[in-house]
Amino acid sequence: MERKRFSVLFFIKRSKLLKNGEAPVRVRVTYDRLYVELQLKRSIKVSLWSQEKEKSTGKDRNSVELNHYIDALRVKFYQIYQDLELEGKIISARAIVNRYQGKDETFKTLYNVFKEHNDNCRKLIGTDYADITVRRYDNCLKYLMELVKRNYKVDDILLREVNGELVRKFDLYLKTEKHCAQNTVIRYMKCFKKVINLAIANEWLTKNPFAGIKFHEVEVNKQFLSQAEINRIWQKEFRIERLELVRDVFIFCVYTGLAFIDVYNLRPEHVSEDSNGNLWIVKPREKTNNLCNIPLLSIPKQILKKYKDNPYCMDKGTLLPVPCNQKMNSYLKEIADLCGIKKNLTTHTARHSFASVIALANNVSLPNVAKMLGHSSTRMTQHYAKVLDQTILRDMQAVEKQLSV
């Protein structure tokens, strides 16, 4: 039986020089007269390349490193070819390259599996995922690869090499190098764990590296504004237009409970009028797609009327000209200083203030607050529900009246 011919050829692309004037180095893997080409992350001056030797003729550091890289890569391709032969697999140029790139199911890599998961999630933004969730997966992959490169001196590792040690090192890396708070660390670890569970379900991984490892979230006491502080911000006159706009958007969220992304995407079709002439915001939440039903109070009505003819709103088809979240949070700190409020104001402070001060403090039931916030259960709403001194006092005064009868 005639043996199929296998070869690995390195060459440069002289016709497509890079901006620095160097030629990109490519590799051609051939098996049985069919080949696959790859462009390597390496380049060289045309004058230094010897096609006969398939190497650089230079003596400088970059040339020496390139030649070592080519030698190592050639050995790697031949090793893959031999492995496929020993395993009795069907051999082709594509099969050899796939195994090199980690696309072979037996040799899937952590980066490729994680990246494929993130790309699939990105396609489902607006249906199954929110943009911020996909960004968290991307950041998790970025930090994980930073750790792999630093600790293992490689750009990627095989999926089967992921173990409990890497999981614990990643936890430590997030806390010590990235200075992430405990709950942020847990969110990243959950992203990592989801991808690992996917690999186990697909039988790409046999052992669970998260086995026996548990993470505990820390209860965070989120700040909210008192009614006096809300009034102070609302009644404050701002000479700077950008601060006035941010104040209006913030107060609108305080009196509606909308999260930043929901007010950012609020459109005329999300406001409807019932049979009694009451205006309602009826909108699915961007994060969960749960429906919010929020009756509009007088202050948010005033704010909507104020920006009805705003050029930005008319151009974008939105009800409010909302700046990006980063600018909102930055300007809110200015507003807090100008209003003498010693609290860390963020866009999410408005949502907490709505649940605690606007709704619950005024005897709105927890199920109704959950409906307005777009929560699927009241258990989620309890995260926002803070016990106020005024409600404690009110309840205890009622007790005192009963005792004095």
Out of 49, 84, 106, a domain closes at 106
Binned at pLDDT 50, 70 and 90, residue 25 comes out as very high
Is 66 a domain residue? yes
For 330-358, what is each residue's pLDDT tens digit?
A: 999 999 999 999 998 999 999 989 988 89
Phi-psi region of 42 (alpha: psi -120 to 50; beta: other; left: phi over 0): beta
For 267-281, what is each residue's pLDDT tens digit?
A: 999 999 999 999 999
Q: Are residues 359 and 335 in the same domain?
A: yes
For 132-156, what is each residue's pLDDT tens digit?
A: 889 999 999 999 999 999 988 888 8
Query: Which pLDDT does position 1 carry in this prediction?
Result: 43
Q: Are residues 250 and 172 in the same domain?
A: no
DSSP label at 4?
P
- What is the Cα–Cα distance from 369 to 40, expressed in whole angstroms? 57
Q: Are residues 67 and 115 in the same domain?
A: no
Query: Which pLDDT does position 391 carry in this prediction?
Result: 63
Q: Are residues 280 and 390 in the same domain?
A: yes
Q: Are residues 136 and 80 in the same domain?
A: no
Binned at pLDDT 50, 70 and 90, residue 229 comes out as very high
Out of 185, 201, 217, a domain closes at 201
Is 160 a domain residue? yes
Is 37 a domain residue? yes
DSSP label at 275?
T
For 103-131, what is each residue's pLDDT tens digit?
A: 766 667 899 899 999 999 999 987 778 78
Indicate the helix (H) or strand (E) that contains 256.
none
Least confident of 72-86, 292-306, 367-381: 367-381
Q: Are residues 96 and 114 in the same domain?
A: no
Is 141 a domain residue? yes
Query: Which pLDDT does position 132 carry in this prediction?
Result: 83
Query: Which pLDDT does position 379 carry in this prediction?
Result: 73
Average pLDDT of span 319-335? 94
For 374-399, what is each residue's pLDDT tens digit?
A: 887 777 676 666 555 566 666 677 77
- What is the Cα–Cα distance from 227 to 316, expressed in whole angstroms? 33
Least confident of 46-50, 215-219, 286-290: 215-219
Q: Which two tokens stand for residue 349?
A: 């402070």
Average pLDDT of span 150-169? 88
Query: Which pLDDT does position 22 carry in this prediction?
Result: 94
Least confident of 6-10, 200-204, 325-329: 200-204
Range of the domain at 130: 108-201
Measured between alpha carbons, how far is residue 379 from residues 251, 322, 354, 370, 376 in Å?
Answer: 26, 30, 17, 9, 9
Query: Which pLDDT does position 99 carry in this prediction?
Result: 85
Out of 183, 201, 219, a domain closes at 201
Alpha helices, H only, 237-355: 241-254, 260-264, 298-306, 311-316, 325-338, 347-353
Query: Which pLDDT does position 390 carry in this prediction?
Result: 60
Evaluate if residue 33 carries a pLDDT over 90.
Answer: no
Query: Which pLDDT does position 32 carry in this prediction?
Result: 85
Q: Are residues 70 and 127 in the same domain?
A: no
- What is the Cα–Cα distance from 236 to 229, expressed in whole angstroms? 11
pTM of the full structure:
0.58
